[in-house]
Chains A and B, each alone.
Chain A
Amino acid sequence: MTTLTRRSALRGVVGGSAVTVGLPFLDCYLNNNGTALAATGAALPVCFGHWLQALGFNPGMWVPKKIGAGYENNVQLKLFDPIRDKINIFSGMKYFLDGRPHETHTSTVQIATTGAVFDSGPIGPSLDSKIADVIGTRTRFRSLEVAYDGSRQSWSRRSGTSINPSEGSPAALYKRIFGPEFQDPNAAEFTPDPMVVARKSVLSAVTDQRAALMKQVGAGDRVRLDEFFTSVREIENQLELQLQKPSPMVACTVPKAEDEVKPDSLVETMETNSKIMAKLVAYALACGQTRVFNTWLGAQQWRRRGSSYTWHSSTHEESIDPALGYQKVVYDFIHEANQMFVDFVHILDGVKEGDGTLLDRTLVLWQTDHGDARTHSLEEIPIMTAGNAGGRMKSGMHVSAPGEACTRVGLTVQQIMGVPLNTWGTRSNETTKTFTEILT
């Protein structure tokens, strides 16, 4: 048993106003089970991930017949059988446009991520960003964004003008997390680098000018400058963390760098790279580097070598097979994407932390853009969650909410993560109702 000498917050003055910068679990130690901090008995921190997989599912093939626990997976989700008790499935829900223009594959993702449709102008913030404001301020990275298709596209944003781009290259992701600036939380020795002190001091020359600059700009630019200085402050926060001995993380293992396939949107490439990226995200969580992540599958451009069709074009142009009764090519794409989700859940569940696993203290929200991508439908939208959010959420349930707004799930998830809000979304997508049946 070690005496806890944790400093919970660093107080400082930036640009003339007092700010509170959270620090990670400094000088804290796990109990023998590795499930809690020895001194406080507090649970390991919760983590959140948003998994965006566009282009929906084949209609009529995924909704389980039984509602509640103990449901049996429908044909398209049979591959979820091994993780059935680790996830929840939500069916029957809708996106509402309220007469706004239907920017296909876009308006609906805006609703899924922000609760609102935006005709034009700034979008945001996305729900992962609001969650990161609550649980992601004490880590090296407020959040990590990855794209499996090699692109930098991302739906994560602090605002419409501050977009968190995805990392599309596993090698670059590795370097970012486990490169020279990574500090192994379980290393025996710790020596603060004086150069980090120097770097931190010169950055104050930038933040010193905040007040003078803010006085000179109009309201719009003031918001942008504020976002800029928030990002500078995050670098300062990272530097501050580098000067402190990190708390040990029981399951933290520094992975070996793996060779990536040059990123592109070929399915065969993504099958290799997605496995590497999934592991890196899991290790980043296990090593306390971040508590929030976003995974974008980039499904629209998925394709197979030699085929002139992408997943997206197939949804619109492949005929429904008269014998099978569904689009076979589309079905296969969905199956491969779902397999990646299953693999990821297995990876999180495979990280043992005492009696529990990393998945136990994580909540992954799975969302998509359309129910049936073939017709850009706004109904029967599949939604899933995985994990138990540190014991705050049940799993193994099929929840049916016919005709209700998808934002109900988003609101529930944000409340579970501690975001202080009672309502979420706008117009018909606004909701005050949560799914209490999945709360513990």
Chain B
Amino acid sequence: MSQEAVLGQEAEEHHHGPDKGILRWVYTTNHKDIGTMYLLLALGSLLIGGVMAFVIRAELFQPGLQLVDPNFFNQMTTMHGLIMVFGAIMPAFVGLANWLIPMMIGAPDMALPRINNWSFWLLPFAFTMLLSTLFMEGGAPNFGWTFYAPLSTTYAPPSVTFFIFAIHIMGISSVMGAVNVIVTIFNMRAPGMTFMKMPLFVWTWLITAFLLIAVMPVLAGVVTMMLMDIHFGASFFNAAGGGDPVLFQHVFWFFGHPEVYIMILPAFGIVSHIISTFSRKPLFGYTSMVFATSSIAILSFIVWAHHMFTVGIPLVGELFFMYSTMLIAVPTGVKVFNWVTTMFRGSMTFETPMLFSIAFVVLFTIGGLSGLMLAIAPADFQYHDTYFVVAHFHYVLVPGALFSILAAVYYWLPKWCGRMYNESLGKWHFWLSFIGVNLTFFPMHFVGLAGMPRRIPDYALQFADFNAIVSVGAVLFGTSQLIFIYNVWRTTLGQKGIKATDLVWEKPEGLEWTALPSPVPYHTFQTPPKID
């Protein structure tokens, strides 16, 4: 039975529902099951990474060393970053891609369903390995999520070896997942769905997948070189042997900068859908959105050294990377303009997904503008390695990427499970998150500009008030996510909430709304839908 690939066979095989019990999830080849598992993994990681953030904020609530010793503090900042980037944001977007791309392009499933299952199940093993380092002798990695050499080579705790191999597993998973997405989009679109008719979420994911395939192997390369330096006497990052620690930063950020766009491009797709639906207008400037996304992706390969202005790169390098970075503001500006113009004179309503999306546009733009400030090489010497940088990337990742993921779940959940979430709980969740997120990250700009360094468990007295506010904000933001978890739980497993119509919203665009019932059946589009 398990051998049956069912092309050309009769309908019974097609209409089989999900299996019962745990094995359904272990053996599944269904894109919806796998998408759900990715999203649950992301939620679990968000909670674990969130607890680590609580430890960090508890320590920083007051000046002086309070709760944890500095080495453990460093482990917390490192693991918080790694878990949130590789465990929360990336798997959440892959989960959404799994759920949505086949439904949006009229495909029955992902192109390679078994590889899809493999990509997912590699991740729990990878994170088990990564988290197990917390209990090893010498503790978990403590060199920051960017693991700069020589902190991560000469001075690393012994557990770094397990960290390296955990990154390798995540890399295999990401590359296989990305290949799957690309093949699905290239080869599984329903007849008539040309590239320029594809929904923007599909477009942004196509470009994201390209970035993943291009840079994840480079990450694998850089951790392999670390392994060689640590255990086999190589000197890639050791100047005594003719290598260069700065070389590590170059290779890492050649991966790292496209990586940050991997974590934001799908978000652009999501908010484009949501803003259009709740403004009751087609998206303004679809074509320019596609080109802007592509330009951002291409530019992402030639801006990496803006993370390294202070390490002593040549002046011509500083200038090149400064100007190329500033260029990114142009396509990003096009996007923000298009979102605002889509809303302009639309008959807007403010359901929870729309609230999160509008907050995304405003707050992501703040994060983008602080990024522009950081791009100015001479000014960056002041900002570098301060809380200003922490404020910047949390603004693009939390009210940016994370808000878009929350918006996406609220927006598509009724389609997935057939019931509406509770709107007033959703609004509570939004407003508490909105206040919490700004309370947490906005004051970081001030203490950063005033010179508070990042990744240090103690600080000068003048930063005390702002840090106390930040910690309170973090607790508010963190705990208000419990409302979200309760809301999703009561809608799905709890079976509460009114039944959703097939369209769910008022005239949304896209095959997932117009061609499929709510809740969507276990298998959708066994034959291709018609596209006008």
Do they bind each other?
no
Task: List residues of B whose CB falls within 8 A of some A CB.
Answer: none
Task: List residues of A whose CB falls within 8 A of some B CB.
Answer: none
